[in-house]
Amino acid sequence: MPTEITRIDGPIRIFVPTGSLGAGAREEEIEEAIARGAHAIATDAGSTDSGAAYLALGISKNNRGSVKRDLTLLMKAAAKARIPLIVGSCGQAGGDANVDWTKAIALEVAAELGLRPRIAVLYSEQSKETLKARNAAGKIRALPPLGALDDATIDSCDHIVAVMGPEPYIAALEAGADIVLGGRTTDTAVLSCYALMKGAPAGASWHAAKVAECGAQCTTNPTAAAGVLISIDADGFEVQTLAPANHCNPHSVSAHMLYENSNPFLLAEPGGVLDVTEADYTALDPRRVRVTGSVWRPQPYTMKLEGAGRGRYQTLMLIGIQDPDILARVEEFHDKMLAALYERTRKTIGPAAGDFHISLRMYGWNAVSGDKPPPGTPAPREIGVLFVATADTQEMATQIAKACNPYFFHFPLDLDKELPSHAFAFSPADIERGPVYEFKLNHVIEVEDPLELVRTEWLDLRERP
Amino acid sequence: MMATIKQVCRHVRSKNAGPFWVTIDLFFDGPENYRRYADSSALGPELMQRLYGADPRLVRRYPVPKLHMVKISYARTSVQGGEVERDMHCGQQYVRLLDVELDV
């Protein structure tokens, strides 16, 4: 029983070439997807998953060459097949600087290939003034675990983006864009926008996009492939693998809804919620799974805000230790050395060190958890000890590291023995790491119009001489 | 009957779900152990509090019968990438669960 009124005659096929632009699209999959009648190529190019630094600094996580390589393959294929290329969350964080970085690469590729596409560039970075005004008007609300937003938190961010839905992409495509390069957008909006524009059912379009958001990760052999083809029709959607050796099945497809999502059944999007509680997954053949029963529940339109800012500064040092006597009593060694480093800093720098912090992370023992391993845990063969000093300025963090250097280098297990020399990995020993970067916002902003916080720039290369 | 999580799950994983939440997926090895242990009281919010310092009021648990799995999500206790970060993507957090004993 169709639950939504739709206006499509046949399936809408979206080729998702890779989980993230620059991860490595595959030429044979591109050819296969075009041969199977893909109507659009869509890929996401970022995530918050690797931390706030990429938004705070406006830099990409991927190297320029790999992004250029993927853009070259995809722009060439899209132009040849005369289908649109849609890229969202450009440059990892989707801030204006991240988008401009990607735009410059796309323009370089177009010039090299002799292509003259109409490119729409969507920006969604927000000024602090806009957000303060909207917050004062009660239009911004917190998501757990954070509380109500204040001006000081807004001011603590270096860059803030509003996460776009599909509407700005649809507007750009309807206005004739061959290529859309978008700032920060939900992964699913980037992959569903074309099908939604064509009138495909919303539940199937959003669910298909969620399944395909990481490319071939919804397949049984994600290392043998990069992309997938999703095909949305009036009653549901299909997921198809493209690499000849790769398969997918109801388990691999349904399990992807769980990935990096706190709720396995519901996915909140700018204009509603995807509900897959009643979704049904059927294997059509070893390379195709059909999904029905996905439901879209429209809600008042909100855009999530992501804001990144810098915190205090850190300086690092790294030593290795193989001394079996130390490793047999490694917890005792750690506690004694940490106390000695704090004392050394207080004595040599004094109150000027401020509210500094030192941590010693013993790789090979308990660095990841920081917990004490249970009694009886065998001594490791060697450990790496990462020294992390945190202070209000980079200079002070480094002064603390330098003050601690001789103790970190020579600290003994028992004070009555000759001083050991632990194995420094580098000289100079201290490495300035810069500030820590943190996401400061977990809030949504209510908007009347999905485009009101979005700016669209057009680059019409047909007009170039 | 008591069993550890690693004895009755074929796969356990953890990952950030955005910068403020962590999500853990426990895939049981089949319908039998799923039915037996999915509702185990040992998998309650207190466990997340003990292992991760999580606020029990910010722990969510979702059984997914079709996949024989249980998802548990909790709010991060320290901001991703902050001064004391030790696992940026939370991809190693699941390891502390493996030896937890489940009761029927």
pLDDT digits 0-9 by tens, A140-176: 999 999 999 999 999 999 999 999 999 999 999 999 9
Confidence of residue A1 (pLDDT cuts 50, 70, 90): very low
B23 interfacial to chain A (CB closer than 8 Å): yes
Write the residue in A52, A312, A442 that is nearest to B83 by C-beta: A312
**Which A residues 223-252 touch B at CB under 8 Å?**
251
Write the residue in B67, B82, B87 that is nearest to A368 by C-beta: B87
Query: Inter-chain contact A367–B60, Cβ cutoff 8 Å?
Result: no
pLDDT of A8 higher than 90: no
Which residue has better confidence, B18 or A464? Answer: B18
A104-to-A87, A121, A319 alpha-carbon distances in Å: 14, 11, 42
3-class secondary structure for chain A? CCCCCCCCCCCEEEEECCCCCCCCCCHHHHHHHHHCCCCEEEEEEECCCCCCHHHHHCCCCCCHHHHHHHHHHHHHHHHHHCCCEEEEEEEECCCHHHHHHHHHHHHHHHHHHCCCCEEEEEECECCHHHHHHHHHCCCEEECCCCCCCCHHHHHCCCEEEECECCHHHHHHHHCCCCEEEECCECHHHHHHHHHHHCCCCHHHHHHHHHHHCCHHHHCCCHHHCCCEEEEECCCCEEEEECCCCCCCCHHHHHHHHHCCCCCCCEEEECCEEEECCCCEEEEEECCEEEEECCEEEECCCEEEEEEEEEEEEEEEEEEEECCHHHHHCHHHHHHHHHHHHHHHHHHHCHHHHCCCEEEEEEECCCCCCCCCCCCCCCCCCCEEEEEEEEECCHHHHHHHHHHHHHHHHHCCCCCCCCCCCCEECCCCCCEEEEEEEEECCCEEEECCCCCCCCEEEEEEHHHCC
What mean pLDDT comes out for the span B61-77? 95
Write the residue in B17, B69, B85 that is nearest to A262 by C-beta: B17
**Which B residues 30-49 touch A at CB under 8 Å?**
none
pLDDT of A6 higher than 70: no
pLDDT of A66 higher than 50: yes
Contacts of A439 in chain B (CB under 8 A): 19-20, 79-81
B98 interfacial to chain A (CB closer than 8 Å): no
pLDDT at A4: 57
B57 interfacial to chain A (CB closer than 8 Å): no
Residue in B14, B15, B20, B89 to test binding to A, most A beta-carbons within 10 Å:
B20
What mean pLDDT comes out for the span A245-265? 92
Query: Inter-chain contact A390–B83, Cβ cutoff 8 Å?
Result: yes
Write the residue in B27, B89, B95 that is nearest to A49 by C-beta: B89
Query: Inter-chain contact B62–A367, Cβ cutoff 8 Å?
Result: no
Confidence of residue A463 (pLDDT cuts 50, 70, 90): confident
Please write the tens of the pLDDT for every residue from A311-365.
Answer: 999 999 999 999 999 999 999 999 999 999 999 999 999 999 999 999 999 999 9
Contacts 24+ apart (CB under 8 A), A411-415: A411/A333, A411/A336, A411/A337, A411/A340, A413/A323, A413/A325, A413/A326, A413/A329, A413/A332, A413/A333, A413/A336
Query: Inter-chain contact B64–A258, Cβ cutoff 8 Å?
Result: yes
Query: Inter-chain contact A258–B23, Cβ cutoff 8 Å?
Result: yes
Query: Inter-chain contact A436–B85, Cβ cutoff 8 Å?
Result: yes
pLDDT of A5 higher than 70: no
Q: What is the overall mean pLDDT for chain A?
A: 96
pLDDT of A2 higher than 50: no
Contacts of B75 in chain A (CB under 8 A): 144-145
**B-chain residue closest to A280, CA distance:** B66
Please write the tens of the pLDDT for every residue from A371-388.
Answer: 999 889 999 999 999 999
Write the residue in A52, A255, A357 that is nearest to B81 by C-beta: A52
Write the residue in A251, A259, A439 that is nearest to B80 by C-beta: A439
- The model's pTM is 0.95
**A-chain residue closest to B15, CA distance:** A260
**ipTM for the assembly:** 0.94
Residue in A161, A262, A356, A436 to test binding to B, most B beta-carbons within 10 Å:
A262
B83 interfacial to chain A (CB closer than 8 Å): yes
Please write the tens of the pLDDT for every residue from A392-421.
Answer: 999 999 999 999 999 999 999 998 889 999
Contacts of A312 in chain B (CB under 8 A): 83
